[in-house]
Chain A
């Protein structure tokens, strides 16, 4: 029982980070109907910036503050990178086939990642997370502090996002543009601005997620692969649903963690590290039942 609960907490911790990544994908998808395969590169960029900024501002005495300040700086800088990318490579493609734009983002991902890898070096870079892998006793459970920090940070960010979409002018504009681009334009919404904003937000979210994920083993060249786990999460939740992204992210995290804990005992023939691919297997199973995810809008086809 204790093992199960601890595994659940771990799953919710990483799952909340997946939820952030999934939100980034969904925000871009809703605004531009494109999936940005460049997210892994932004995530890596953010983590690398954090790993450089934290030691530089390390004077801040209060525990954890310098980490959060540097994550914020990283998020802003990465949002800047994303804005540049959007302006140079995505904006000219407005109206082109979504697949074409998706492939462009793959190209961007490769190019940006190579540059960022140059700053990582060969090993892993420590990220300056004050608690490291410390554990704490919580309600009788042995929990890693970093998982609690992940859940807390993500809860704050998600709350801020939902507030932004529901209560601010730009949030309304983004929802309008996502609902019907042409109608939004006639009402004076700057669709170009919405595009840019969505990319900037996605870059920032990816940077936060990357920094949080790297609190364990540091930033290495394989970190970007984790961003792709958000893809099963958005498929589960539905490509166009923000709530779905959060639920899907948490679900994927929990499933991955449970598989990691129990698969070795119950199904050893699946091989070591099956947990890493379990999100993709889960995705295939769900898609066989619900082709547009659990919260996604089914496409209505009319002649």
Chain B
């Protein structure tokens, strides 16, 4: 957590190029040595509707969107105007100003496009400006853009004005533009950038104090989203087959993978539905490729039966599930962590799967790799569970995180030599024979001599033939179920997926899973600064659950607040269910309004619970105690 930070919000109409503009600006800030975190807010509409992107930049690490923001660049909604008459209609055009003022901090800066917006139409604007000591700059960004190029380039004019007002070096911005454009378009944009910069310097008196923080990060950083983390992790793990059907927000991973797989000699398939998608991944894996699929809520629901098929046939496969607010189609572009139990328990029978929930893009990369490794070593489906927030938000990550060797190892597969000596029955290879090693039996691949067997979703004997023999059933069930214990053991030995943040001997704890990690860590900083004694743990090993680490954490604190984005405390229930105790120590802070937690909400939630000094009444959050023990 830091005081010296810029949180820049660019607001306007969705479809107006806000995303690309903000991406470039975020990169420019990163190139000037800052840590950056971006947050994208957009409605479920293609064009129309209000949208904004927030870029938080600081020399200190930034792990969440922060609380409120301090610089607003308000662009107009170009499509909300009647293109023929060049006149406004409806009320939509003033939203970039009116919709965004509530969260603007005291002393903040507003740049608005006076060519498109009129502050007279906004109630109490002047009073609010005065009350909050806002500094307002009314630039005709549209005019500037039109003078040298086209109206859409007003984003560039806005960035030029921002740079002038924050004393930012234009060089990183220019070089990014040079990378992204060429020819006349580049020329026009560069002219507009400079024009806006100069006009702010010449025509306006600078009344505000806000400046861009000084960046001193000298490590090479990259700006990536959780979706990139997952896709790149899969690529490095040798995944060369992906099948999917579009559904927000999973589409991000699908698109990134598809974009690159052919360059990497792989195959991507957009198919007819999610049942097919998961089934294709199973088919490709069965034939010997490293394969993945995935979806979001409703699409993942369709994968329930193939998921069980993968488990029963012991076909390795990695599925990703990007949560959005539900039930049903819910809120497609809004994050929630409400699919936890869906992912844990979907599919019939006593079914087993590995579930990881990475907390940031770096973890997304590492844990996707781990998910593949375990899936192929143990022949079990593995799920990477994340949400819309981690999917779309970009964050600076040290480049070194990705500087890892590829791993094309396909896991527990027999060799030709093995097969010459392998046990056979009924003319088939005993592919499901228990050799006593963590439940894993070696598999052969179609085409291998001496390896033919039947992979069956029905309960089967060692060669795959359907069997309802009670003794065989128990042996096969026990063998498959033993895998999770073996995986847990392996994870406990080698991995450290559950980072603890804050003083080791803290009295209180905050528990999160997935994308809530950074928010909790920032809240911990604030709380300890004001004299509380608190630490946070983000749990990624959801299944098999990180029992030892979470137990140790909970034993060391008097009480813990479980922070999660859903209404029914699914994660808290999972902890209680897995550990069978600690009910008396656990309290929940729940949020399910479609927006991710902000640090202040966690801070106030904690204060409210611990000593009553907080006030959560103004937030859409709820505190709940655990029922039972």
Say whether A and B bind each other.
no
- Interface of B with A (CB < 8 Å)? none
* A interface residues, Cβ below 8 angstroms from B: none
